[in-house]
Amino acid sequence: MCEPVTIGMTILGAASAAMSHQAAVAEADATNDAAAATHDIARQTTINQHTQETRKFVEESRVNVEEGFDATLEKRAAMAAAEVIGGTSGVDGASVDAMIAAEAQKGARNVYRTKDAQENTRLDFTAGVNAATDQGNARIAATPFVSGPSALEGVVGTVMGAAQGYTAGGGDLSSLKIGGAPSAKGVGDGLRLSYPKGMGG
């Protein structure tokens, strides 16, 4: 028969192990809840940054298109004016052609600048979106989910805690008999089986 101290230590050991398991589960749950919240914020922040970059791209593209259209109109107007000036001033054909070519070249440079500006706008947009995505992914990676202890680990831990409490209370684990299982005494031909009281053998 177990001593009261041994019984008490056994119960205390099991309870302590169970509480430790519950605390570990609660800690893992809290960590995962915080990680999930951080992930949601990171995703929403990334979406917002993408939206801002898109709006910026659309606005700058609109300006670039308008400037390109204006540059084309200015080039055509300058070339037409050169023709008129040449005709009314009695300038020879070669001079008129040179004036028209000069205006055409000037207009072409303006159109090129507009195209270059649009390409820079596109590159800025791509860089901004990629940076926002990388920041969001990095924030998510920095707060990973964790695996808490399983139910089986909780059961095993409780049993181990009970065993430790039992031995700490002076109990001898080697003397325990589980259920009605017989215990073997002797070896070889002299093997004898002993049963708990009340069981035949």
Whether residue 200 is contained in a domain is answered as no
* pLDDT for residue 47 is more than 80: yes
Assess contact for 148 and 30: CB atoms under 8 A. Answer: no
Binned at pLDDT 50, 70 and 90, residue 156 comes out as low
Query: What is the widest separation between alpha-carbon atoms in the chain?
Result: 139
Helix, strand, or coil here: 197?
coil
pTM of the complete model: 0.56
Q: What is the pLDDT of residue 181?
A: 46
Strand pairing partners for 185?
192
Whether residue 201 is contained in a domain is answered as no
DSSP character for 182? Answer: -
More confident residue, 13 or 116: 116
Q: Which amino acid is at 97?
A: D
Binned at pLDDT 50, 70 and 90, residue 134 comes out as very high
Whether residue 199 is contained in a domain is answered as no
Whether residue 90 is contained in a domain is answered as yes
- pLDDT tens for 166-181 read 565 555 555 545 444 4
* pLDDT for residue 58 is more than 80: yes
- pLDDT tens for 91-133 read 555 566 666 677 777 767 777 888 888 999 999 999 999 999 9
Structure tokens at 197: 């009281």
- Domain count for the chain, please give it: 1
Q: What is the mean pLDDT of residues 44-58?
A: 94
End-to-end C-alpha distance for the chain, whole angstroms = 23
Structural domain harbouring 59: 4-194
